């Protein structure tokens, strides 16, 4: 009887320890700075983490003119999802940015929170410093979903115009995420409009000229305005 009791006690202790074992090696979020920046306990030090491939509206910028109500919404959302939680960090390319912050994808409950922010319409897919090597398609689909449903920044005409305007400049600087250029093939059928990296025309997916664009040079646009804001003109044949 005593032996059985000891076995039960040992098993109980083992199962109580499982949650602690599961979070071993993860990092606790001690503070949320704003929608795309958090502070974690990283190997015994408090480190700022800048989330890769996202750029939420400002809420704590030194220039108060930069702060907008949507920035507060993004910040509160991140606080709700991450504050006090244990998260995983996944790095891609350089581990630290210009200001010494960690650059990472943040996973909470096995969910890529960077992609979640884009899907919620709290950030565009931010590609100024390069495309995501591993999650490019997830980011594109998340942004397409947010735009289609007019979520948050995509439901605010002024913010939407601002981010579409910025997108025309993204990707022109050398990537700090990747050390070599990466080309990701695009299936024309998955695009609303299709452009080429080698021209300034955009087309409907079924246009005969799209077949002449190699998959590696195709660029997807979800909106006609997006293509025009990026300097592309409509094809005179398919008239998108």
Active site residue 144: no
Out of 47, 58, 138, 226, the active site residue is 58
CA distance 41 to 66: 29
Q: Could you report the per-residue pLDDT of 13-50, keeping only the tens digit for each? A: 544 444 433 333 499 999 999 999 999 999 999 999 99
Burial class (CB in 10 A: 0-12, 13-18, 19+), 48: middle
Q: Report pLDDT for 182.
A: 35
Give all domains of the chain, ordered by start, each with its CATH number. 25-177 (2.40.50.90), 183-240 (3.40.10)
Identify which of 111, 62, 106, 64 has the alpha carbon closest to the alpha carbon of residue 87: 106
Q: Could you report the per-residue pLDDT of 136-160, keeping only the tens digit for each? A: 999 999 999 999 999 999 998 888 8
Out of 81, 101, 140, 218, the active site residue is 101
φ, ψ for residue 207 (rounded to 5)? -65, 145
Active site residue 101: yes
DSSP designation for 209: T
Active site residue 208: no
CA distance 121 to 1: 60
Out of 2, 28, 31, 50, the active site residue is 50
CA distance 7 to 125: 53
């Amino acid at each position: 009887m005593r032996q059985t009791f000891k076995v039960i006690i040992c098993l109980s202790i083992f199962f109580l320890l499982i949650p602690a074992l599961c979070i071993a090696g993860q990092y606790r979020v001690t503070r949320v700075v704003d929608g795309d920046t958090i502070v974690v306990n990283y190997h015994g030090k408090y480190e700022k983490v800048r989330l890769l491939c996202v750029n939420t509206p400002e809420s704590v910028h030194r220039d108060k003119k930069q702060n907008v109500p949507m920035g507060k919404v993004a910040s509160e959302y991140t606080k709700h999802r991450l504050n006090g939680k244990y998260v995983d960090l996944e790095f891609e390319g350089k581990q630290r940015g210009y200001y010494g912050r960690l650059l990472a994808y943040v996973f909470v409950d096995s969910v890529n929170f960077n992609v979640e922010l884009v899907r919620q319409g709290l950030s565009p897919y931010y590609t100024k410093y390069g495309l995501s090597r591993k999650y490019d398609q997830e980011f594109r689909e998340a942004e397409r979903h947010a735009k289609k449903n007019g979520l948050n920044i995509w439901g605010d005409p002024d913010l939407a115009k601002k981010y579409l305007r910025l997108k025309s400049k993204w990707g022109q600087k050398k990537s700090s995420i990747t050390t070599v250029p990466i080309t990701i093939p695009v299936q024309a059928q998955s695009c609303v409009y299709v452009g080429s990296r080698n021209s300034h025309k955009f087309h409907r997916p079924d246009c005969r000229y799209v077949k002449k664009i190699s998959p590696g040079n195709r660029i997807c646009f979800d909106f006609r305005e997006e293509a025009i804001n990026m300097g592309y003109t409509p094809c005179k044949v398919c008239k998108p």
